[in-house]
Structures are given as structure tokens and as C-alpha cells.
Amino acid sequence: MCRIAAYTGPEVPLENIIVHPRHSLLVQSQNATEAKLSVNGDGFGFAWYTQDRQPGLYRDVLPAWSDGNLVSLCRMIRSQLFIAHVRASTMGETARANCHPFGFDRWSFCHNGQVPHFRAIRRELEAALPDPLYEARQGSTDSEMLFLTMLANGLDRDPAAAIRATLDKVGPARSDGPVRMTCVFSDGETLYAFRHASDDHSPTLYASGRLDHGGYALASEPLCGRAAAWRALTPDTLYRLSPDGALTGEPLFEETRLIA
């Protein structure tokens, strides 16, 4: 499984989240503690926002710990909102086009998990994409297709409804195995996130309290290494995290219950 870290708040260098913390995303690329695979070496990437409405993207197929540019770029690039990802491939070859985050217009998107029956539904999902989104597709992963399908289903207008419509298109789990996903995405103003699984074992995601530099983070594993210091996010709930730290949750389904 992949690992994700995202930040919103005062402008900081990306290294504050990706490189420096005790259990940073760079550390998690080699030593994840809450995933089936401890090593995430099939590429990495990050998306960041400045005053431009569209995110900058940097992605590569090298393991995060092997890219000589990563630490330097994370020291030099400053942003008030960014999403980063290290990949352990479950669908699609190791190629730059398959590395996260994916971007379209003002949106950036990361996914951790898998749709095991993706090959069986791929043509149906492709056929449902409007031409601009179909033409935007570059890779072969279920992750990118989830992102484009969410956009096609109205992510700009109503993120919760777009997620529900996308999950309906993905359908229930088949004999290939359970559907599992944790997604973190942004329109450049707000961080969004949700967890979902057909077997109640969705990949982990946590929210921080106020960080030392005044911002807030979402991460697959607590960046300090201590789960008690972070809040585990409830599955089947769409979360919104604003730059002032306000974290709100909207149940995706009627039976969802938020953590107290």
C-alpha cells in the first residue's frame, strides 16, 4: 500500500512534512509501520499550490530515498497547501504517468488502495468519461481512473455526491479481493479526504493537531510516530480540512458514524 501526507496552513517549505519529521513521508517510504508493505519504492511525487490556481507537479519513478532532487526541492519549494505520495504499486507498471499525485485543472489527487477487479470494469469507466477527461488520462492505474471518474461525476459541484456516484460505478467487491481506498485531494483551497473499503479494512489516515509552524496535516501514518497524538479518521466520511485547522466530516452513507 502507498503512503500519503498533505498539509494546509501558513506557507512552509515542503521539507517540514516530507523530510524533517521523525516519521516523515520520506521515512515511511522505507519503513511504513501501518501498511501491508513496509517499503514504498515504486515512485513518488508531490503537488503544491501557490497563487496560481493550478498545482505544480513533480513525479518520478525512483524510490523517494534514491532521488537526489527530492530533498533539495523540498527545501526550496514553499507552499500553503500540498499533497505528497510514495507508491507501492498494485495496479499499473512503474512509470512516471502512474505516479501520484494526479492533476487536472485546479485539482490534485492521491490514492492508497486498490480496486482488484479494475480490469473488468475499465472499459465501462473509460466510456463514461467526457472527452476532455478521457484525453487527459496518461497512465494505466485504477487510481487515476478513480480521480477522473470523480471529476466526471461532479467533483467541482458536490464532492460527496461525486464520491458516492464513483463508488456505485466501481461496484461491490468480486472474487479478486476487497475494494480498499483512502483518497486525499484538493482544489487548491481545501484538503479533502475519505476512507472506504468493502471489507471494513480501509487504509489508514490521520489528522494532526496544530503543528509547530501553525499548520495542519493529514497523513497515512502520524508524522511524529505516535498515533495517540493524531486523530484517526472515520471510514465512509468525507472530511474537509481548512487552513485554520477546521476539520469537518460529512457521512457518505446514512449508516456512517463520526468519531466523537
DSSP state letter for 196: E
Are 43 and 98 within 8 A, CB to CB?
yes
Distance CA 34, CA 3 (A): 10
H or E, element range at 247 = strand 247-251
* Whether 74 is catalytic: no
Are 80 and 49 within 8 A, CB to CB?
yes
Counting DSSP H helices and E strands in the chain, the numbers are 7, 13
Distance CA 133, CA 113 (A): 22
Chain-centroid distance, C-alpha 103 = 12
Distance CA 87, CA 85 (A): 6
Catalytic residue, from 2, 74, 99, 110: name it. 2
For the annotated catalytic residues, the residue numbers are: 2
